[in-house]
Structure 1
Amino acid sequence: MQQITPLEVSALDAPVIIDVREANELEAARVPGATHIAMSSFLEHLGEIPREETVYILCHAGSRSAQVTNYLEQQGYDAVNITGGITEWAASGLPVER
């Protein structure tokens, strides 16, 4: 499984970030510009995931995003897990919407 740190993904030019946390988790912090597709309804929205681009998957701490990343890779997507999730993102001083 491919992985990337929040600092590394934030340095990319317009990365496609998919946040797989549940809706109530977004109230605490959200990455600006990230697309929200909750893990609980992910399969229902699989068609919304771009196949022609690398997608970067984010959750709270990296566990759920790792599961989603593995699934997407098995389906032929170029998916990368963001290690540490929103927790590491915020701790790294990267921008979040509250």
Structure 2
Amino acid sequence: MREIEISEFADAWAAGAPVVDVREPWEYRNAHVPGAQLLPLGQLGDRVTEIPAGAVEYVICASGNRSVQGARILMTVGRPAVSVAAGHLRVGRGGPAPRHR
């Protein structure tokens, strides 16, 4: 598994890379990366077939903890090319960006 910085993720997102958001539905409703597919971490293993195969999946959450777990789940079911957006993610009108604490 490869962890990437938010800036690298933002570039991939802008180029149309598929994104899986493993946060809870209420978090997604508050703000999310446009085009991200919501698959909460607790459901990811059961719903992995909903993710189109063949592309590098960018797994995101708010802080990076759940995204690492989500990437591991995807890798165990044959999705070896999983990138994890590391760090604290903020979503604004311009797309994903690092969240300053």
TM-score bin, normalised by smaller chain: 0.7 to 0.9
Measured in 2, the distance between the counterparts of 1:91 and 1:19 equals: 12
Greater shift, 60-69 or 25-34, is seen at 25-34
Mapping of 1:43-82 within 5 angstroms? 43-77=45-79, 78-82=81-85
Distance 2:19 2:94 in 1: 14
CA deviation profile, 1:43-96 (whole Å, cap 9, x unmatched): 221101222110000011000110111121232212111112xxx332899526
Paired residues, number: 93
Unaligned runs of 5+ in 2: 97-101
Residue 28 of structure 1: CA displacement?
Answer: 2.6
**What is the percent sequence identity of the aligned residues?**
27
Any stretches of 5+ residues in structure 1 without a counterpart? Answer: none
> Larger strand proportion, structure 1 or 2?
2
Deviation at 1:10, TM superposition (A): 1.4
Corresponding residue for residue 8 of structure 1: 8
Comparing 4-13 and 61-70, the one that deviates more: 4-13
**Paired residue secondary structure (1:68):** helix
- TM-score w.r.t. length of structure 2: 0.79
For the aligned residue pairs, the C-alpha RMSD in angstroms reads 2.1
Assess if the C-alpha contact under 8 Å between 1:7 and 1:89 holds in 2.
Answer: no
